[in-house]
Amino acid sequence: MPETIAIIGGTGPEGRGLASRFALAGRRVVIGSRDAARGASVAAEVASTLAGRAGAGAVEGASNAAAAATGDVAVVTVPFEGHRATLEALVGELAGKVVVDAVVPVRFERGPRPVEVAEGSATEEAAAVLPDSRVVGAFHNLAADSLLDLDAPVHADVLVTGGDEEAKRIVSALAERIEGVRAVDAGPLRYSRFVEGLTVLLIGVNMRHKTRTHVRIEGLPA
């Protein structure tokens, strides 16, 4: 199990939520940002929400580059419009590491709409930009509000995509440190586009019904 988790572009709601849950599970977390001071500020806010919780790991802030260099595993939560440029700047720091892409290509125009990606998905774009990294797709379908509600289990499946079976096992084990989460192997990277697209649908459902929905796959063997 990786000891230090880097959250690249981790100052938004999804990044904060994942950072909070990983730290709650005892991992050390480094929240990265384009601005190291911003990363440190958000890390302090996250750490304050964990104060007094037994077994919580340390939460620190840094630049994206410093976070990427420090983390045993890196989770990418940067907005899609900055996705490629952010990863292109971190090729060296992320070489040889498990990189989890949690980015959803989405725009809002009278509701959420998917953004076409030349490679097929944000996760596949990450794999193209980071040929020396072990890229896995995961965490796309978890609502930030649910992640940030630390007093309640998430009760969701995390769909994990990728071609590196060992990397998928590492990410699945990390996902299942979040209370209520079950990791599901969803196949190779080419299926990432469907996982990411499902998030666009869920956002629309949540907006329409003013709720928080998640994915659960029924019928899998116990």
List pLDDT tens digits, range 135-164: 999 999 999 999 999 999 999 999 999 999
Average pLDDT for residues 167-181, to the nearest whole number? Answer: 98
Q: Are 129 and 201 in contact (CB under 8 A)?
A: no
Which pLDDT value is given to residue 212? 87
Of the pLDDT bands very low, low, confident and very high (cuts 50, 70, 90), residue 67 is: very high
Q: Are 61 and 42 in contact (CB under 8 A)?
A: yes
Average pLDDT for residues 197-203, to the nearest whole number? Answer: 96
pLDDT digits (tens, 9 = 90+) for 22-65: 999 999 999 999 999 999 999 999 999 999 999 999 999 999 99
Which pLDDT value is given to residue 2? 76
For residues 200 and 107, give the distance between their C-alpha atoms in angstroms, rounded to a whole number.
9
CB neighbour list of residue 76: distance below 8 Å, 6 or more residues apart: 8, 9, 83, 86, 87, 99, 100, 101, 102, 103, 126
**pLDDT, the chain, mean:** 97
Beta-strand relationship, 73-76 and 59-63? unpaired
Q: Are 56 and 23 in contact (CB under 8 A)?
A: yes
Average pLDDT for residues 177-195, to the nearest whole number? Answer: 98
Q: Is the pLDDT of residue 111 over 90?
A: no
Which pLDDT value is given to residue 1? 67
Q: Is the pLDDT of residue 215 over 90?
A: yes
The radius of gyration computed from the CA coordinates of the chain, to the nearest angstrom, equals 16
Domains and CATH numbers, the chain: 4-209 (3.40.50.720)
Average pLDDT for residues 100-125, to the nearest whole number? Answer: 96
Give percent of the chain with pLDDT exceeding 90: 95
pTM of the model: 0.96
